[in-house]
């Protein structure tokens, strides 16, 4: 059968999960991009995706891609297709359009030009024309115009796939069904239900989370209830294949409904919400698999006979739905009930409000970023056990009261934090970056670096001068913590302090009670897991953000090598850029394990991504020349016990660069970086290479105050150097 390229769109934050889902549905060459995932398959594969995807919003079949700087070019490009192969003259169609960074800026005008080109072709050939139908057209077209390049696609889904067909009426700002499915998948529900665990939603509203959970538990295709897809009116629609897929889905659901399903329950204090939830369950054919009941939060208990499971909730965020201060009590009561009645369970709460998240009073073991429409949300995951002690609002308020009074000097520090935050926040939002440097010894009295990681703070103290008494330095560090709590409205347990000096008593600042906690952060279209507590470094060098973006831009179709690979951040960017193969080399198994997790988090876990545990200096000498792009970021100095001898980047960089360049194919590129502030490149010794310093180009906005944070060079192996 003919293989075709498709693109499945998804809400921000769902792309890595969609990669896994498309692979499970049989997609090939699956690749995450911004706001969606591309894949290759047959038309039957596309039909199956429309029927079975719990996460995708739409499935697009690209028909034509062409330059469109002007309305005339756009019109000609659309008209170059033979539209009679897609649509009957008596049929109807609709056009959706999105425009970015192009000379034509008005999406409605662009959509009209697409419509005109199609209509004019039909009228010229037959004297008749198809009609426009916005609700249920025979075919729906999608035009994406980016940087004056148009991609015109057929929308095989017709309407957004989150519309399952069971929801009759939504109240209390219901979740889209594909976001609800993502919450459940991120929280491990498929594994929990397979092991016999139950599910409870104590604030279920119109029942979306329990219904989606039951669809998964009964192996029900999420699109089985829909009576309209965009491919059904398409002239190339294969009804026989579609009927066979639906028959298979009906059979699988029938078998799933016969199986014993663990308890799935939804509670709410609103009688109307419960009535609506029951309607949705009946419409989905799941009324015998779910129980809904009006019940107060304080009366929530596990189902009879269940010892573990998933408690999942989408409580109000304080965005139009209620006052934040009033909701804090609700969140705290939810946390209290979770701790008291659900020991041994896993819990997942989604919210967009950090203050409300902290009000739960329990420690989240994992935090994921998801988007509920335009709202950036956190999915907080909790292991409910005796070690995760609940804290009341009164306890939290008592702990905060001791840090609210700031000295004049600390107030200056707080004002600088406010100023920097105001400057950087818009940039960070625009670039989808939630981990960046907020402060770096801007004031000499406070010699610290402050980095934001989502809603956590990583605070590093620099070595104070010898003339500063240790007690005074310690007091300033306490003041910095107090000021950050006040300005950024964070609890002290989310401020992770690293003290780089030897002194007794500094253990009070170490966040040792959260060992092993991994937090998910965003860097453009990449996601990473960081550990803010256990090590001096977090697992992500923020000053290399622009360098990693450069690598992503250069990585299309290359073999990529990441030396001294650390936790694989550069490898992730190369994979996102389309590298056909990657190799990450590091001496630490811990770092390589994290690199593997980072790749998997971004949808890459295939055999083309190699992890090598070795001393890079030894490995380079024995490796074969095989790479088109290499990232080399050695330590400034190392005498690691796994190495033979010592390494000094200034002393040894010539030999290291020569040995590494040998691994490049002719014309290949080496990006060489280091953090030695006094580093000087030996141009004379490396005269046979093309050397270009790119330090300024790789300096991120948040590190402009510290231009010596790193050095970076682009080194090209000449094609005649064989």
Q: Do 47 and 25 form a contact (C-beta atoms < 8 A)?
A: no
Could you give the CA distance from residue 669 to residue 488 in angstroms, rounded to a whole number? 42
| Residue 488: half-sphere exposure toward Cβ, Cα within 13 Å | 28
pLDDT, residue 401, reads 42
pLDDT higher at 100 or 140: 140
Farthest CA pair distance, the chain = 91
Dihedral angle, C-alpha 362, 365, 370, 375, nearest 10 °: 30
Radius of gyration of the chain (CA): 28
Q: Do 194 and 52 form a contact (C-beta atoms < 8 A)?
A: no
Residue 198 DSSP SS3? strand
Is the per-residue pLDDT at 170 higher than 90?
A: no
Is the per-residue pLDDT at 510 higher than 50?
A: no
Could you give the CA distance from residue 585 to residue 563 in angstroms, rounded to a whole number? 5
Tokens of 362: 């329990």
pLDDT, residue 721, reads 56
Tokens of 543: 């000053």
Pairing state between β 58-67 and 581-586: unpaired
Strand residues in 314-374 grouped as ranges (E): 346-351, 366-372
Question: By CB neighbour count within 10 A (0-12 exposed, 13-18 middle, 19+ buried), where does 429 fall?
Answer: exposed
Q: Which of 188-202, 416-430, 448-462, 628-642 is the most confident on average? A: 188-202
What are the pLDDT digits (tens) for 290-304? 999 999 998 999 988
Tokens of 261: 């399903």
Tokens of 551: 């690598």
Q: What are phi and psi of 38, to 5 degrees?
A: -90, 150
Which residues are registered as beta bridge partners of 404? none
Is the per-residue pLDDT at 511 higher than 70?
A: no
What is the average pLDDT across 561-584?
A: 96
Listed in sequence order, the residues at least 6 apart from 614 whose beta carbon sits closer than 8 Å to its beta carbon are 585, 586, 587
Q: Do 259 and 212 form a contact (C-beta atoms < 8 A)?
A: no
Pairing state between β 346-351 and 309-313: parallel
DSSP string, 108-133: HHHHHHHHHHHHHHHHHHHS--PEE-
Q: Do 698 and 712 form a contact (C-beta atoms < 8 A)?
A: yes
* Band of pLDDT at residue 506, cut at 50, 70 and 90: very low
- Taking the alpha carbons of 647, 651, 653, 655 in that order, is the dihedral positive or negative? negative
Could you give the CA distance from residue 276 to residue 441 in angstroms, rounded to a whole number? 56
- Taking the alpha carbons of 643, 645, 646, 651 in that order, is the dihedral positive or negative? negative
| Strand order across the beta sheet in which 627-632 lies | 609-613, 581-586, 559-563, 627-632, 664-674, 711-716, 690-693
- Taking the alpha carbons of 394, 396, 400, 402 in that order, is the dihedral positive or negative? positive
Could you give the CA distance from residue 8 to residue 342 in angstroms, rounded to a whole number? 38
Q: Do 420 and 434 form a contact (C-beta atoms < 8 A)?
A: no
Could you give the CA distance from residue 493 to residue 364 in angstroms, rounded to a whole number? 11
Please, where are the H alpha helices in 81-106? none
Strand residues in 302-389 grouped as ranges (E): 309-313, 346-351, 366-372, 375-383
Could you give the CA distance from residue 152 to residue 96 in angstroms, rounded to a whole number? 10
pLDDT, residue 8, reads 97
Residue with token string 């335009």: 374
| Structural domains present in the chain | 4-155 (3.30.2130.30), 177-223+259-394 (3.40.50.150), 402-514 (3.30.750.80), 541-716 (3.40.50.150)
What are the pLDDT digits (tens) for 171-221? 555 789 999 999 999 999 999 999 999 999 999 999 999 999 999 999 999
Q: What is the overall mean pLDDT for the chain?
A: 89
What are the pLDDT digits (tens) for 526-556? 999 999 988 888 999 999 999 999 999 999 9
DSSP string, 5-72: EEEEE--TT-HHHHHHHHHHTT-EEEEEETTEEEEEE-HHHHHHHHHH-SS-SEEEEEEEEEE-SSHH
pLDDT, residue 320, reads 42
What are the pLDDT digits (tens) for 590-613? 999 999 999 988 888 778 999 999
pLDDT higher at 135 or 323: 135
Residue with token string 């030996």: 682
Q: Do 617 and 647 form a contact (C-beta atoms < 8 A)?
A: yes
DSSP string, 635-695: -SEE--TTSSS-EEHHHHHHHHHHHHHTTEEEEEEEEEEE--TT----TTTTTTSEEEE-T
Which residues are registered as beta bridge partners of 132? 93
Tokens of 719: 């094609």
Is the per-residue pLDDT at 403 higher than 50?
A: no
DSSP string, 400-464: HHTT----HHHHHHHHHHHHHHHHHHHHHHHTTB-EEEEEES-STTS-EEEEEETTEEEEEEPPP
Is the per-residue pLDDT at 475 higher than 80?
A: yes
Is the per-residue pLDDT at 505 higher than 80?
A: no
719 C-beta neighbours (distance < 10 Å), count: 10
Is the per-residue pLDDT at 288 higher than 70?
A: yes
What's the pTM? 0.66
* Band of pLDDT at residue 517, cut at 50, 70 and 90: confident
* Band of pLDDT at residue 101, cut at 50, 70 and 90: confident
What are the pLDDT digits (tens) for 305-342? 888 999 999 998 875 434 677 788 999 999 999 999 99
Instruction: Give exposure, 303-328, as e/b (b: 16+ Cβ within 10 Å).
Output: eeebebbbbbbbbbbbeeeeeeeebb
Could you give the CA distance from residue 709 to residue 457 in angstroms, rounded to a whole number? 20
Tokens of 598: 């980072």
Separation in Å, CA 630 to CA 239, 407, 657, 674, 717 = 49, 50, 11, 14, 11
pLDDT, residue 470, reads 77
What are the pLDDT digits (tens) for 110-133? 999 999 999 999 999 999 999 999
What are the pLDDT digits (tens) for 645-700? 789 999 999 999 999 999 999 889 999 999 998 999 999 999 889 999 999 999 99
């Amino acid at each position: 059968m003919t293989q075709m390229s498709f693109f499945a769109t998804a809400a921000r934050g769902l792309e890595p999960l969609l990669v896994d889902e498309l692979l499970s549905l049989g997609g090939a060459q699956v690749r995450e991009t911004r706001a969606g995932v591309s894949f290759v398959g047959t038309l039957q594969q596309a039909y199956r995706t429309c029927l079975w995807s719990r996460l995708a919003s739409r499935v697009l079949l690209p028909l034509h891609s062409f330059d469109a700087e002007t309305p005339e070019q756009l019109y000609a490009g659309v008209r170059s297709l033979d539209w009679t192969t897609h649509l009957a003259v008596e049929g109807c169609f609709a056009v959706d359009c999105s425009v970015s960074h192009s000379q034509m800026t008005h999406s409605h005008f662009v959509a009209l030009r697409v419509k005109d080109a199609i209509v004019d072709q039909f009228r010229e050939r037959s004297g008749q024309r198809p009609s426009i139908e916005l609700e249920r057209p025979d075919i729906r077209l999608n035009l994406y115009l980016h940087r004056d390049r148009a991609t015109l696609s057929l929308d095989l889904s017709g309407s957004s796939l989150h519309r399952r067909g069971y929801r009759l009426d939504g109240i209390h700002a219901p979740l889209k069904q594909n976001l609800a499915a993502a919450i459940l998948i991120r929280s491990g529900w498929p594994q929990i239900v397979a092991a016999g665990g139950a599910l409870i939603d104590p604030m279920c509203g119109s029942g979306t989370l329990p219904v989606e959970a039951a669809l998964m538990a009964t192996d029900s295709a999420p699109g089985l209830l829909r009576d309209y897809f965009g491919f059904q009116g398409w002239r190339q629609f294969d009804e026989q294949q579609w009927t066979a897929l639906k028959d298979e889905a009906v059979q699988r659901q029938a078998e799933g409904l016969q199986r014993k399903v663990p308890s799935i329950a939804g509670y709410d204090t609103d009688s109307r919400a419960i009535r609506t939830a029951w309607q949705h369950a009946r419409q989905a054919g799941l009324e015998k698999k779910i129980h809904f009941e009006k019940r107060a939060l304080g009366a929530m208990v596990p189902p009879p006979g269940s010892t573990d499971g998933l408690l999942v909730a989408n409580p109000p965020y304080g965005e139009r739905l209620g006052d934040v201060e009033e909701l804090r009590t609700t969140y705290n009561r939810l946390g209290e009930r979770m701790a008291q009645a659900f020991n041994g369970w896993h819990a997942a709460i989604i919210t967009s409000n950090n203050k409300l998240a902290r009000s739960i009073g329990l420690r989240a073991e994992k935090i994921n970023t998801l988007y509920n429409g335009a709202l950036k949300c956190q999915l907080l995951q909790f292991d409910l056990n005796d070690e995760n002690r609940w804290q009341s609002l009164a306890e939290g308020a008592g702990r905060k009261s001791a840090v609210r009074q700031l000295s004049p000097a600390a107030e200056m520090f707080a004002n600088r934090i406010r100023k920097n935050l105001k400057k950087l926040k818009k940039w960070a939002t625009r670039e989808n970056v939630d981990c960046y440097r907020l402060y770096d010894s801007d004031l000499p009295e406070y010699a610290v670096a402050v980095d934001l990681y989502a809603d956590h703070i990583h605070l590093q103290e620099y070595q104070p001068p010898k003339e500063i008494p240790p007690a005074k330095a310690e007091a300033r560090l306490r003041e910095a913590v107090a000021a950050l709590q006040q300005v950024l409205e964070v609890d002290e347990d989310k401020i992770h302090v690293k003290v780089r000096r030897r002194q007794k008593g500094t253990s009070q600042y170490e966040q040792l009670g959260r060992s092993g906690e991994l937090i998910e952060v965003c860097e453009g279209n990449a996601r990473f897991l960081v550990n803010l507590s256990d090590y001096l470094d977090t697992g992500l060098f923020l000053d290399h953000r622009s360098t990693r973006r450069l690598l992503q831009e250069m990585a299309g179709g290359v073999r990529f090598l990441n030396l001294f690979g650390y936790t694989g951040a550069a490898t992730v960017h190369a994979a996102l850029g389309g590298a056909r193969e990657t190799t990450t080399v590091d001496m630490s198994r811990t770092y390589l394990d994290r690199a593997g997790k980072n790749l998997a988090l971004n949808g890459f876990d295939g055999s083309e991504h190699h992890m090598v545990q070795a001393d890079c200096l030894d490995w380079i000498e024995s490796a074969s020349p095989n790479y088109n792009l290499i990232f080399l970021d050695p330590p400034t100095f190392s005498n690691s016990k796994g190495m033979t001898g010592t390494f000094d980047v200034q002393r040894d960089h010539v030999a290291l660069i020569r040995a590494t360049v040998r691994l490049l194919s002719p014309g290949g590129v080496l990006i060489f970086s280091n953090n030695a502030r006094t580093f000087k490149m030996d141009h004379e010794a490396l005269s046979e290479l093309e050397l270009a310093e790119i330090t300024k180009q790789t300096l991120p906005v948040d590190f402009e105050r510290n231009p010596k944070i790193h050095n970076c060079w682009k080194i090209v192996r000449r094609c005649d150097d064989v």
